[in-house]
Amino acid sequence: MTERMEQLHLEDLAIGQRFTSGTYVMEAARIKEFAAEFDPQPFHIDESAAEASVFKGLAASGWHTAAVAMRLLATGGLPLANGIVGVGGEIAWPRPTRPGDILHLETEIVEITPSRSKPNRGIVTVRATMFNQDGDVVFVLTPKLLVPKRPKC
Amino acid sequence: MTERMEQLHLEDLAIGQRFTSGTYVMEAARIKEFAAEFDPQPFHIDESAAEASVFKGLAASGWHTAAVAMRLLATGGLPLANGIVGVGGEIAWPRPTRPGDILHLETEIVEITPSRSKPNRGIVTVRATMFNQDGDVVFVLTPKLLVPKRPKC
């Protein structure tokens, strides 16, 4: 990957452009720890309770899955100049993630809107789709990101 | 709070009903640790880099803020029977959260849709608004939640 690829500015992006992230393995211990801190519900912490729940087995907090998606974007999945700064967007969790899942993201540029008030940047909407090792979609994130133009020399 | 209040089913909810969470204090060390694991970008990890960034000071990852919102919902902020299970929704981060911020959520029921295919439950849309100690809105989460009806005896 070239330095240029690692630092994409607004001018470098085009609708339909796609990026693929690395992978991340979900681990039972981390699922339980994350949930104990941020989403202390039995189906994210205890296997027996999870079996009896709507999840029918231990499932990561959706916010743990979301945080892993962010890690995959920030570590090569979306090589934007000045980093990945979102103002908001949409999220969906079609299926839970589970211990042993191997996750990756495929991300596509879906909209590019240059800012009217701030000519040195724009808002870029991307759709990041997270798959597990079976090809199931487990998370879809459609954030609006602030992306700078290349600095004028 | 009564037992009934702690276990609200679909029949107990009404549009406009409101709930207030407890509070959560953001700490610089946890902001940096969370970011190192899930959002390793300089403005979430290093004060100097953060000062020079669009955030103009250390800012928590938006996903850390989101995870704290989930904690506040799950620990009394939204007392739903069978817990809080979201299928997706919208998120917005109007401002960053920062070390020392004292956060709380105010949550309102905005839509209730009984399931056609599964008569024992429905989808409830809530709007959870997170405020800091100055009354600034720092996060808005509008999830669609699965909420069961009260079991028939």
Percent with pLDDT over 70 in chain B: 95
Please judge whether B85 and A54 are an interchain contact, meaning their C-beta atoms are less than 8 angstroms apart.
yes
A chain contacts of residue B121, beta-carbon cutoff 8 Å: none
Q: Which residue has the tokens 């640790």?
A: B33
Phi, psi angle pair for A125, to nearest 5°: -95, 130
Cα dihedral A10→A16→A22→A24 (10° resolution) = 110
Please judge whether A71 and B146 are an interchain contact, meaning their C-beta atoms are less than 8 angstroms apart.
no
**Per-residue CA distances from B121 to A75, A78, B52, B60, B118 (Å):** 39, 38, 49, 36, 6
Answer whether A120 touches B (CB < 8 Å).
Answer: no
Element at B57 (helix H, strand E): none
Q: Tens digits of per-residue pLDDT, B84-129?
A: 999 999 999 999 999 999 999 999 999 999 989 988 999 999 999 9
Phi, psi angle pair for A61, to nearest 5°: -55, 140
Query: What's this model's pTM, rounded to 2 decimal places?
Result: 0.95
Answer whether B76 touches A (CB < 8 Å).
Answer: no
Element at B135 (helix H, strand E): none
Answer whether A61 touches B (CB < 8 Å).
Answer: yes
DSSP string, B60-78: --HHHHHHHHHHHIIIIIS
B chain contacts of residue A66, beta-carbon cutoff 8 Å: 63, 66
Interface confidence (ipTM) of the complex: 0.94
Average pLDDT over residues B12-34: 98
- CA A109 – CA B54 distance, rounded (Å): 22
Give which of B2, B17, B30 is closest to B103, Cα–Cα.
Answer: B30
Answer whether A85 touches B (CB < 8 Å).
Answer: yes
A chain contacts of residue B50, beta-carbon cutoff 8 Å: none
Between B63 and B7, the more confident residue is B63
Average pLDDT over residues A85-95: 97
- CA A101 – CA A118 distance, rounded (Å): 42
Strands A86-92 and B85-92: antiparallel
Q: Which residues pair with A152 in a beta bridge?
A: none
- CA B98 – CA B19 distance, rounded (Å): 24
Is residue B72 within 8 Å of A63, Cβ to Cβ? no
Percent with pLDDT over 90 in chain A: 90
Q: Give the 3-state secondary structure of residue B5.
A: helix
Closest chain A residue by Cα to residue B60: A85
What counts of helices (H) and strands (E) characterise chain B?
Answer: 5, 5
Between A152 and B31, the more confident residue is B31
Answer whether B67 touches A (CB < 8 Å).
Answer: yes
Q: For position A151, what pLDDT does the model report?
A: 87
Please judge whether A66 and B63 are an interchain contact, meaning their C-beta atoms are less than 8 angstroms apart.
yes
Answer whether B29 touches A (CB < 8 Å).
Answer: no
Token reading at A122: 């724009």
Average pLDDT over residues A21-48: 97
